[in-house]
A and B are shown apart, each in its own frame.
Chain A
Amino acid sequence: MENGIELNCGKVNFQQISEEITTAITCSYNILSRVEVILGQPPITPFLSAANQDVDFVPLSIADCHMIFEGIEAFSDQPNGNYETAIQKKYLASPTVILTELEQNTIASFIISFDIDSFLAVPQSLAVAKRGLRVFDIASTKRDQY
């Protein structure tokens, strides 16, 4: 497999796609590094740049920007390789960026509580309703699925 990989859905030419994505990443990254805002209206995604103007994005820092593009870079690193493996290596085999900060926190005060969330039963009669039954909307065509 020179230019692609064989998936269960067919062969993917990753070389071609990854080059374009890498160019886009570099382009966006440079812009983002300078202005320190993120992807309110991505300049190179016409698909959403016009349609998504109402979405109010949370501004992220440069460090976040690094993190954002890490995932795409993981694919770009392996133009002829196997991106499933890349995902697994990147995210599942080692702790991700966020976890480096976890160890700095300590558990301070917490609550432990118990609850009954739900129950399910098969009654033998309507008489299971000891105090009566509130029957709803006898002619309803509303489909209230279980």
Chain B
Amino acid sequence: MAIPIAAGIRTVSYHQVPHIYLGTLFYFEDCRLYIFFPNLYDEDTQRTFLIDVEYEQFMNFLLHIQGNVYDSLLMQHFPSSWADAACKDKGRGSEQGIQADTREPCKQMLHYILLPSGLHLVWNQLQDRLSSIGFHDLDLQTLLLNAKNMKTLFRSEDPGVLLQQFLHGWNFAIDDTYLVPNQTLIDIGKEVVASKHENMYPQTYLWKTCCLKKTLYEFHLGIPKSGFVTQFYPWALTGTTCNMTFRAGKRHPFTKAGLMYSQFYSSTKEIFNAAKIFPFNSTSVEGLTVDPTLYKLWNKDTGRSGGSWDRGKLQKAYLTTKNRLCTALQSSQKKCCGMREEHRMSWTFFQWVGKSVRQLPATQYIDASNPPCHLLSITLMCKFLYSNMIKFGYGFEYVLGKDCGIYISTETMKVATMFLHLLRVSLGGVLLAADLGLWIDIGIHIPITDLLWY
């Protein structure tokens, strides 16, 4: 989003700008509405939330304006102020007399419905009020509407039926006259998965690297210097399976039409996905490779014993991840994981694609004799991933434990870090070139093109 700074305008990702989660659209629970405050963005502090004083000020304005717009029939059910609301949501936790004094009272997630009739007026008055002198920090609020993980909600084997389903929900809950078409982005996906069959064991499909390169070639449309940025993510360090992401250049017809980017990946990532937390992804676990004596020295120096440099916590985190992996692999033996492609496009392009999709046959086919994927049983795949975890985990643990964990030399630290990185990249599709510790070696010079294409 555009952020006003002294030197002009700067573009910053939404997730870096202070914002609040206001609520959800009625009859469309998955659709969340956020308010962003670009004037609160500060490159030095890098915070994404409002501090209590700002939050209180904004909510009190909102409640006050709601009181002006809606009649008392509605407003009698709302809290009178931010402070009033703060007491109410802790009421059950703090007034029953059963909770220990030392604990923060439990909060109830209270919610209130704002009727559609006054919403536009509320927003206009809020903007007017906050643009006046004295409220510069909260001025220039921007709304963002976002819905994620709806792939199980809007899904059909018939693309025409899918669009019908989605547009029905969309038109019922959303007034798209208030949306900017080119700033409305939709992710549309296509998935191929083995169907359950009595005589077949559960299968997993993994994209073939060669087929993805062929797909990429087709997307180029034969246009020279099309400015494609492509990244391949080798799957679990294998040579012939990978995931792929690409984005066409600014002048490419796809970009002009509204296609932002496309992703092709295997659904096997869902086995380890814990709300976007993937195994061994936390860089803090690398702290295990640091010599324990150094921990003691740092803690002594900073007086933070048991704080940031707590080796026990890191070890527990590592073991918890390992345990989660084992549980996930053991309990996924009957799953079928498919291959997926996902395209992010503008609303305008989506409507254009929608017309074409409706003309597709209701049942799709792929060439079963030469599919674009590798097939393997889920049991075999789980064993493969498990053995990856064991072999690199073994290397990591052995190197750290070889001196009974009392002393870790600099050499040991480097090799242990390497094993940890390998552990991280051997469980799914990972961009190896991004792991500089693993990939770049100053002894050999890898051209940039090779980094992209491996």
* Chain A 1-40 interface mask (CB, 8 Å, partner B; 1/0): 1000111111011101100110010001000000000110
B314 to nearest A CB, angstroms?
Answer: 12
B181 to chain A: closest residue by CB: A121
Q: Choose one: B111, B159, B398; the contact of A114 (CB below 8 Å).
A: B159
Q: Are B194 and A109 in contact (CB under 8 A)?
A: yes
Cα-based distance from A126 to B154 in the complex (angstroms): 24
Q: Nearest residue in A to B166 (C-beta to C-beta)?
A: A116
Q: Chain B residues near A42 (CB, 8 Å)?
A: 394, 397-398
* Residue among A20, A69, A85, A116 having the largest count of chain B Cβ atoms under 10 Å: A116
CB–CB B190/A71 < 8 A: no
Q: How far is the CB of B441 from chain A (nearest CB, A)?
A: 5
- Please determine whether A60 and B319 come into contact, CB atoms closer than 8 angstroms: no
Would A52 and B322 count as touching, CB distance under 8 A?
A: yes
Complex-state Cα separation, A9 to B192, whole angstroms: 42
Could you tell me the distance in whole angstroms from the C-beta of B412 to the nearest C-beta in chain A?
Answer: 7
A90 to B220, CA, bound (A): 31
Interface size class of B (residues with CB under 8 A): 35 or more
The complex places the Cα of A67 from the Cα of B389 at a distance, in Å, of: 11
B104-130 contacts to A (CB < 8 Å): 107, 109-116, 119-120, 122-124
A60 touches which of B239, B373, B383 (Cβ 8 Å): B383
Q: Quick one: which of B124, B194, B402 contacts A108, CB cutoff 8 A?
A: B194
Interface residue tally for chain A (C-beta within 8 Å): 99
Binds A, one of B26-34, B93-101, B243-251, B300-308: B26-34
The answer to whether A5 touches B319 (Cβ under 8 A) is no
Other than the given A115-B191, A126-B143, A138-B112, 19 more pairs (CB < 8 A) read: A28-B394, A39-B394, A55-B323, A75-B395, A85-B444, A99-B238, A105-B203, A111-B192, A111-B194, A112-B363, A114-B188, A115-B152, A115-B190, A116-B154, A117-B342, A118-B150, A134-B23, A138-B78, A144-B21
3 tightest A-B CB contacts, nearest first:
A47-B401, A139-B86, A127-B120
Chain A residues with a Cβ under 8 A of chain B: 1, 5-10, 12-14, 16-17, 20-21, 24, 28, 38-39, 42, 44-48, 51-52, 54-58, 60, 64, 67-72, 75, 82-85, 87-88, 91-99, 101-102, 105-146
